Amino acid sequence: MANGLTIEVISHLLFARELDLINDEELNTLRIQINELTNKLNAFYKTLKKTKLIDQVNNE
């Protein structure tokens, strides 16, 4: 789910850039931040999978 949302946010940012609502520097800064956050979320998810906590949450 997070990856789909990430793609959607980037799509909106690219659209905002096309409309000149943000500049190239802002777009690049936001993309870097999104990438860092996505990496952290993926690592967190992998940790949950290893500890089987994600299975417990999904089964509730």
* pLDDT band per the 50, 70, 90 thresholds, residue 2: low
Residue 59 has pLDDT above 80, yes or no: no
Alpha helices in the chain (DSSP H): 2-18, 24-50, 53-59
Prediction pTM value: 0.74
Query: How many Cβ atoms from other residues are within 10 Å of residue 17's Cβ?
Result: 16
What are the tens digits of pLDDT across the range 8-52? 999 999 999 999 999 999 999 999 999 999 999 889 888 888 887
Which amino acid would we find at residue 26? E
Question: Cα separation of 14 and 11, whole Å?
Answer: 5
What are the tens digits of pLDDT across the range 31-42? 999 999 999 988
